[in-house]
Amino acid sequence: KLKPKPKPKPKPKPKGAAMAAFGYALLADHVDACALPSWYPALRRHSPATRFVALSDAFVDYLLEDGVVLPRGVSVSTMAEPGTIDVDEEDDAWALEELAAPREEVPGAAAGDPDFKGLLRKIDETIAALGGAVFPKLNWSAPRDAVWATAGAAKCGTAGDIVLLLKSSEFAAHDLEHAYDGCADVAAGWS
């Protein structure tokens, strides 16, 4: 008996930088099409309830600043309660002292920008409208790498929780600074 010749397996499409070598080019439009606001309207009924809150340029700059200093007046609901974290006293006694020390007011964009108060109020109103708890996400990524800052949970009950996650997240920083890296139609260094 003659056996039919097996069909060749299709070659997988190359990813990342290799795309250009095979005739594919990643374009800014492709990246934009993957952004939550682009696809959410079409998939709304299959997705969790979502609200979009625009971030000012000043707030984005604040998120990208080094350090994790929260704006004055924000409350964080998801931090671990004192005494609930097992600490090796020999190695980490200094950390407990640092956490217990009174904090100085740190001047900066977040402390004095009145737009932040409006933005934080808008975020708190949105959280309330969605039932009191949300899972934050930027256009492409959620700050899931920063749950260490909120006692292991990405669930946020206040604007402060969201700010803490976004400020602590490398994923968020990547979305804000490097989302278009590697796009053939975007000049190097442009963001």
pLDDT tens, 78-114? 655 555 545 455 545 545 454 444 444 444 444 444 4
The answer to the question of residue 118 being in a domain is yes
Residue 186 lies in a domain: no
Q: Which residues pair with 134 in a beta bridge?
A: 156
Number of independent structural domains in the chain: 1
If 0-12 CB within 10 Å is exposed, 13-18 middle and 19+ buried, where does residue 165 land? Answer: buried
Q: Would residue 57 count as lying in a domain? A: yes
pLDDT tens over the chain, length 191 residues: 666 666 666 655 555 555 556 667 889 999 999 999 999 999 999 999 999 999 999 999 999 998 888 887 788 886 555 555 454 555 455 454 544 444 444 444 444 444 588 999 999 999 999 999 999 999 999 999 999 988 888 999 999 999 999 999 999 999 999 999 989 888 655 54
Whole-structure pTM value: 0.70
Quick check: is 4 in a domain?
A: no
Please give the residue range of the domain that contains residue 51.
28-102+109-178
Domain membership of residue 72 (yes or no) is yes
Indicate whether 190 belongs to any domain: no
Task: Classify each residue of 19-33 as buried b or exposed e, where b means 16 or more C-beta atoms within 10 Å of its C-beta.
Answer: beeeeeebeeeebee
Residue 165 in domain: yes
Angstrom distances, CA of residue 127 to CA of 52, 120, 121, 130, 161: 11, 11, 10, 5, 11
Q: Do the beta carbons of residue 115 and residue 59 sit within 8 Å? A: yes
As to burial, measured by CB atoms within 10 angstroms (0-12 exposed, 13-18 middle, 19+ buried), residue 179 is: buried
